[in-house]
Each structure stands twice: as structure tokens, then as C-alpha cells.
């Protein structure tokens, strides 16, 4: 894997950035889905897809952090 060639501290920073940005996007997309804040032009299907993508990115970043931490603890 190309990402494994980076120093671990850089991998951690990259994973944390992905986790943070995805969490912020998820919060924003969920707000769009709220009935009180959704405007008539809100595409519910698109918002739902965005929420799913954000959740996937969060899970991906969390898995990267677990993998890095596990490898560091085993060395």
C-alpha cells in the first residue's frame, strides 16, 4: 500500500484530518435532513447519499487509526 510508505505520524495526522472533516460534513448533511431546516428544494435522496458517504469516511478513518495503533503496539 502506498499509504504505508508514509511515516506513522503522518498517517495518524491524515486519518485524523479525514475523521474530523468527515464528522463536520456529516453534521452539516444531517442538518439539511432535519424537517425544520430543510427547504422545499432539498433533494432528500442526495442528502441521504451524502450522509452515507460521510459515515463511510468516518469508519474508514477510524479503521486506519486502529490499524496504525495496533501495528505500533505490536512493535
Look at the alpha carbons of 72, 21, 51, 26 in this order and tell me if their dihedral is positive or negative.
positive
Mean local confidence (pLDDT), 53-58: 94
Mean local confidence (pLDDT), 17-42: 80
Note whether residue 3 is domain-resident.
no
Note whether residue 39 is domain-resident.
yes
Note whether residue 5 is domain-resident.
no
Note whether residue 21 is domain-resident.
yes
Residues 6+ apart with CB under 8 A from 65: 12, 15, 16, 19
Q: Which three cell numbers stand for residue 11?
A: 498517517
User: C-alpha distances in angstroms, 33 versus 20, 38, 44?
Assistant: 20, 6, 7
The CATH code of the domain that includes 16 is 1.20.120.330
The residue ranking higher by pLDDT, 32 or 60, is: 60
Give the per-residue pLDDT at 36.
Answer: 55
Q: Which domain holds residue 51?
A: 12-72
Note whether residue 45 is domain-resident.
yes
Note whether residue 44 is domain-resident.
yes
Query: Tens of pLDDT along 1-14?
Result: 444 555 678 888 89
Question: What's the Rg (C-alpha) of the chain?
Answer: 16
Give the per-residue pLDDT at 1.
Answer: 42
The number of folded domains in the chain is: 1
DSSP-derived secondary structure letter, 42: -
Amino acid at each position: 500500500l502506498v499509504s504505508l510508505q508514509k511515516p506513522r505520524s503522518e498517517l495518524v495526522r491524515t486519518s485524523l484530518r479525514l475523521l474530523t472533516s468527515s464528522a463536520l460534513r456529516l453534521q452539516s448533511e444531517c442538518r439539511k435532513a432535519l424537517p425544520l431546516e430543510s427547504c422545499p428544494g432539498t433533494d432528500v435522496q442526495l442528502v441521504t447519499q451524502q450522509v452515507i458517504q460521510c459515515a463511510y469516511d468516518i469508519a474508514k478513518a477510524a479503521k486506519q487509526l486502529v490499524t496504525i495503533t495496533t501495528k505500533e503496539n505490536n512493535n
